[in-house]
């Protein structure tokens, strides 16, 4: 990690010719690969506020949008810290696109403080830590296929 003032900037990483913003994003990508997806889109824009006559649309660039066999879409956002902008994005997504809300999994760093993780998981039920991500995703996918 590189320090700039009071901000911590994660070091960019490369894997299979792709650049990742953090080790967290890379580790999630590697776990997703193990689940045999049909398609992985990185930095996928989710519409969280449609265009109005006064304002442009607002998109949230989530880390991954993944398509699985049987057309099961899953959105994944990696979070080291649950900040105010995350809660705002979640509120807008819940209001404007409930279908995408139900397909969004938030994967938190294992070092995220328990109080922060607990608050986030109360706001959005599909939240897990990296160490539990693979079984969490498998369970999610098996539940989606049975519906």
Query: What residues have CB less than 8 Å from 116, skipping those under 6 apart?
Result: 81, 82
Segments of the chain with pLDDT less than 50:
1-4, 146-147
- CA distances 105 to 15, 73, 139, Å, are 22, 11, 12
Asked if 130 contacts 28 with a C-beta cutoff of 8 angstroms, the reply is: yes
* pLDDT at position 143: 82
C-alpha 2/C-alpha 8 separation (Å) is 6
Two structure tokens written together for 115: 């109080």
pLDDT of residue 147: 46
- pLDDT confidence of residue 94: 92
134: Cα separation from own chain's centroid: 14
What is the rounded CA–CA span in Å between residue 45 and residue 61?
4
Cα(109)–Cα(81) distance, rounded to whole angstroms?
A: 8
């Amino acid at each position: 990690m590189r320090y700039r003032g009071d901000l911590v900037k994660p070091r960019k990483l490369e894997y299979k010719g792709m650049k990742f913003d953090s080790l967290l994003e890379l580790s999630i990508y590697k776990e997703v690969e193990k689940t045999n997806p049909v398609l992985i889109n990185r930095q996928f824009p989710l519409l969280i506020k449609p265009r109005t006559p006064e304002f442009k649309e607002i998109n949230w660039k989530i880390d991954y949008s993944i398509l699985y066999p049987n057309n099961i879409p899953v959105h994944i956002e990696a979070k080291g810290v649950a900040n105010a902008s995350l809660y705002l994005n979640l509120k807008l997504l819940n209001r404007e696109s409930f279908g995408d809300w139900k397909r969004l999994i938030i994967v938190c760093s294992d070092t995220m403080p328990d109080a922060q993780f607990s608050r986030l998981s109360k706001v959005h039920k599909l939240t897990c830590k990296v160490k539990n991500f693979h079984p969490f995703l498998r369970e999610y996918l098996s539940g989606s296929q049975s519906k």
